[in-house]
């Protein structure tokens, strides 16, 4: 049985909205104010290289599909992003254009169960609404947060009323780069 890993860039006040600056959020691009350092970059690289599928929400998928297909790099990150299977949870996207992409509009719980059967490690990057649904339904095996030393005051947050109470067990805590923290938690799906 495979694992589902949710990975997020997050501020100290829980904001995950538009860390890269492509979504038009007033504070967009906030993640670029900080250096992740070699250890932080290596963490993100290994996280992607160890996954064998992506599960994304529509908005994150569209942003990635606009950015990644033309990219290359020496580390293999771009090649991995472009070649691995991508599953998009959406009721509006009909014809995905990025290679190896499949739209999923069915029941999230049964879809995740099937994906875990078919893949060893499924990575969810960004995809705020999807990440919240996965948390609320106890479907993730691991939650990885890269916490940036910044308070924005407003913006979409990872943890909100729609998530409810979720107990997580700390697996790792370490500092990287310019005061960023990597936090890894075992999710509720890992318990059962």
CATH of range 3-191; options 3.40.430.10, 3.10.129.10, 3.40.630.30, 3.30.565.10: 3.40.430.10
With CA atoms as reference, report the closest residue to 90 among 58, 115, 116, 60: 58
| Structural domain boundaries in the chain | 3-191
Chain position carrying tokens 């959406």: 90
Question: Taking 90 as the threshold, does the pLDDT of residue 163 lie above it?
Answer: no
Q: Tens digits of per-residue pLDDT, 14-26?
A: 999 999 888 889 9
Question: Taking 80 as the threshold, does the pLDDT of residue 145 lie above it?
Answer: yes
Q: Tens digits of per-residue pLDDT, 52-83?
A: 999 999 999 998 999 899 888 888 889 999 99
User: What pLDDT shows up at residue 186?
Assistant: 95
Q: How confident is the prediction for the chain on average, in pLDDT?
A: 92
Q: Tens digits of per-residue pLDDT, 85-126?
A: 999 999 999 889 999 999 998 889 999 999 999 999 999 999
Report DSSP letters for 47-116, one per residue: HHHH-SEEEEEHHHHHHHHHHSTT---SSSHHHHHHHS-EEEE-SS-----STTEEEE-S-HHHHHHHHH
pTM: 0.93
């Amino acid at each position: 049985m495979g694992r589902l890993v949710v990975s997020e860039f997050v501020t100290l006040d829980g904001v995950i909205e538009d860390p890269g600056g492509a979504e038009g959020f007033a504070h967009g691009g906030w993640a670029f104010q900080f250096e992740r350092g070699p250890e932080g970059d290596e963490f993100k690289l290994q996280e992607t290289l160890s996954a064998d599928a992506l599960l994304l929400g529509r908005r994150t998928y569209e942003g990635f599909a606009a950015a990644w297909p033309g990219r290359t790099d020496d580390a293999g990150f771009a090649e991995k992003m472009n070649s691995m299977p991508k599953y998009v949870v959406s009721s509006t996207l009909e014809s995905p254009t990025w290679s190896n992409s499949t739209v999923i509009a069915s029941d999230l719980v049964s879809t995740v169960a099937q994906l875990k059967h078919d893949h060893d490690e499924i990575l969810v990057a960004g995809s705020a609404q999807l990440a919240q649904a996965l948390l609320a339904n106890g479907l993730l095996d691991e939650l990885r947060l890269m916490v940036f030393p910044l308070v924005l005051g407003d913006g979409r947050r990872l943890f909100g009323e729609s998530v409810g109470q979720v107990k997580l067990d700390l697996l790792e805590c370490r500092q990287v780069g310019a005061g960023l923290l990597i936090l890894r938690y075992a999710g509720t799906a890992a318990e059962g």
